[in-house]
Structure 1
Amino acid sequence: MASVKLPESKIQELKEVCQKYDNKGSELINVLHGAQELFGYLPAEVQEIIADELNVSVAHVYGVVTFYSFFSMLPKGRNPISICMGTACYVRGAEKVLDEFKRILNVKVGETTGDGKFSLSCLRCVGACGLAPVVTIGERVYGRVSADDVKKILSEYA
């Protein structure tokens, strides 16, 4: 994996996020949320700074980042797309919806389009089972989505 060169100003902002939580290892998840908000993702270099600031191991930070699906070690697109694969969504055709997003965007799950506009991921449950299948793009929720709806949904972000 290529190394990321972090600007000194961003490193200082990251240290301020750590200080906001008194540099306590017990506040790791809150610090990671703040760091991801700051950078958009959590590359290894950010994880190393956090580990140093909170006096915890890099392995511990990495373990938390990889355990929780909210955290990402790869940059996300400006419009992150998530397809719910919970039981209700799955049985109502979420897999076909996902396949259509993959086909149109020409990306796999976990990837970002070449122009950085979209990234594609799956979720276990959005909690809107009555609207199954559900797709989220950023903060926006789309319910009862069919494969035929995908092109129209994407056109809203043209």
Structure 2
Amino acid sequence: MSYSEEVREQAREIIARYPEGRQRSALLPMLHLVQSVDGYVTPEGIAFCAETIGITKAQVAAVSTFYTMYKREATGDFLVSVCTNTLCDVMGGQRAFDALSEYLEVGDNETTPDGKITLEHAECLAACDYAPVMTVNYEFYDKTDPDAAVALAKSLQNDERPRPTRGARLCTLKELSKQLAGWDEDRPGAVGDTASGDASLAGARLAAEAGVTAGTPDPETPLIKKEDAS
């Protein structure tokens, strides 16, 4: 597709964030930008990133296939990821995935015909203390089960956005990609519900009780190149 002048201006804004000679560092947010437009990283998006940054399409494709947050096939508005790794599996993660698969009539990495939901296995969502967990566009829904998982899917099909267990309010994959490209959340009150889970704060509480704090970094500390450190 041909990208609008607005998108091209946003791409230039991204590149301008980086020092001269370091424009290649703009690739990650640039990939999020094209994903926010197309819903996934298309061949046209790869060509756009390559041309704008001044690198090859092969270099862009290599990065886009390395990170799982960049989707290379059409993806639904809501990416539903169910952890089926060891602990979540033992706690019922696979059963939740199977219930969703049966209800949505799609398998792993498949999208419903209406383009609304893509279902995927997740190797690990780094939330074992809330197992079994699932995410929708990377927002957490903790301690799920087959019934809760299907109920969540039904809500998404009804254009509802159930509040995640933790974190900001739910947004679409395109809206999320725009944020990851570096633009502030522009939905009124979208981050008003941000909260942390109790288990996630256990370490911070123990540190506070023990009087342990992190050292204050000195912003004037020079960055030493490897060749200068010898």
Q: Tell which deviates more after alignment, 83-92 or 52-61.
A: 83-92
Code of the aligned partner of 1:19: I
Shift of 1:25: 1.3
Shift of 1:153: 2.0
Which residue is 2:146 aligned to?
Answer: 147
Shift of 1:78: 1.7
Which residue is 1:19 aligned to?
Answer: 15
Ranges of 4+ aligned residues in structure 1 off by more than 6 Å: none
Q: Tell which deviates more after alignment, 139-148 or 16-25.
A: 16-25
Question: Structure 1 residues 10 and 99 mapped into 2: Cα distance closer, same or farther (>3 Å)?
Answer: farther
**Hey, what's the Cα distance between the residues in 1 that align with 2:54 and 2:93?**
43
Partner of 2:76, secondary structure, is coil
Question: Does the Cα contact within 8 Å between 1:14 and 1:38 map onto a contact in 2?
Answer: no
Partner of 1:130, secondary structure, is helix
Shift of 1:31: 2.0
Question: Does the Cα contact within 8 Å between 1:80 and 1:137 map onto a contact in 2?
Answer: yes
Code of the aligned partner of 2:113: G
| TM-score normalised by length of structure 2 | 0.59
Which residue is 1:30 aligned to?
Answer: 29
Superposition RMSD in Å: 2.3
Whichever of the two has the greater Rg, that structure is: 2
Deviation per CA, 1:118-147: give whole Å up to 9, x if none: 111222222221211111123542222222
Question: What 5-or-longer segments of structure 1 have no aligned partner?
Answer: none
**Hey, what's the Cα distance between the residues in 2 that align with 1:29 and 1:82?**
22
Are positions 1:42 and 2:41 aligned together?
Answer: yes
Which residue is 1:6 aligned to?
Answer: 2
| TM-score normalised by length of structure 1 | 0.82
Identity, % of aligned positions: 27
Deviation per CA, 1:68-115: give whole Å up to 9, x if none: 111112232122211123332122221221111111111121121111
**Hey, what's the Cα distance between the residues in 2 that align with 1:77 and 1:11?**
21
Question: Structure 1 residues 151 and 123 mapped into 2: Cα distance closer, same or farther (>3 Å)?
Answer: closer
Shift of 1:10: 6.1
Q: Tell which deviates more after alignment, 93-102 or 15-24.
A: 15-24
**Hey, what's the Cα distance between the residues in 2 that align with 1:120 and 1:81?**
5
**How many residues are aligned here?**
154
Q: How does 1:76-155 map to 2 (within 5 A)?
A: 76-138=75-137, 140-155=139-154
